[in-house]
Amino acid sequence: MATASAWKVNHMKILVPVKRVLDYNVKARVKSDQSGVDLANVKMAMNPFCEIAVEEAVRLKEKGLAEDIVAVSVGPAPAQETIRTALAMGADRGLLIQTDADPEPLAVAKLLKAVVEAEQPSLVIMGKQAIDGDNNAVGQMLAALLDWPQATFASKVELSGDVVRVTREVDGGLQTLELDMPAVVTADLRLNEPRYASLPNIMKAKKKVIDVKSPDDFGGLAAPHLTVKRVTEPPKRTAGMKVETAADLVSKLKTEAGVI
């Protein structure tokens, strides 16, 4: 196991996992057999929380606090386009672990653990969750597998030497944590606003290196523990109604809604 105490933080490298998902502007459609979401001929994009993580890594590099940013994705061949987006935003190189499978969070975390051990970054910054599976699990699982300190739902990230200071939103307000690097940080919505990649940077990104590997190069894909039985659309909402008095409201809640 790669423990934090055994990791030497010198060359400041940031690893940013990114995921290819259905574009958040596209309305998801369920397959006719209810086996999953229909992704045929629809626009795909980088997961919005992953964009925030890439942006934060690039900002740290622009401040002179990082030297190398590696974007890594687990997914099918078209996920190279997702990595290209990260490269156009400012990442230095990319790694695609190519698979047509849809691995569950633990399998992804195990692959990322192997990547971390190969790349030896000082910091892993990743989105807190993906908008497709909505699991919010990979970051926490990765930190546990590595036995690294973690800070989730980051709304502010500051680096100072071998320490990363993370401010996160909690129910009672703001909580600030200090972690010894190497560490895992997951990005929340209010951490930053990602930049749009400029045309010159998009052209430069085409020349940057993307290594394509298979899951077998990183220990293989773990056997799944979860099975999707059925995917259905949420029920359509019915129109509301207006009532004249509070008594009418109570009556309808009792007789029609059945909630009191």
What band does 5 get if pLDDT is binned at 50, 70 and 90? very low
CA quadruple 145, 150, 153, 159: dihedral sign: negative
Domains in the chain, CATH or no CATH each: 4-257 (3.40.50.620)
Please provide the average confidence, as pLDDT, over all residues in the chain. 91
pLDDT at site 38: 86
Helix (H, G, I), strand (E, B) or coil at 205: helix
- More confident call, 214 vs 240: 214
Q: What is the pLDDT of residues 115-140, one digit of tens each?
A: 999 999 999 999 999 999 899 999 99
pLDDT at 100 over 60: yes
What band does 188 get if pLDDT is binned at 50, 70 and 90? very high
Dist CA 8 CA 226 (whole Å): 36
Helix (H) or strand (E) holding 68: strand 68-75
C-beta of residue 166 within 8 angstroms of C-beta of residue 157: yes
What band does 222 get if pLDDT is binned at 50, 70 and 90? confident
Q: What is the pLDDT of residues 44-93, one digit of tens each?
A: 999 999 999 999 999 999 999 999 999 999 999 999 999 999 999 999 99
pLDDT at site 226: 87
Q: What is the pLDDT of residues 199-216, one digit of tens each?
A: 999 999 999 999 999 999
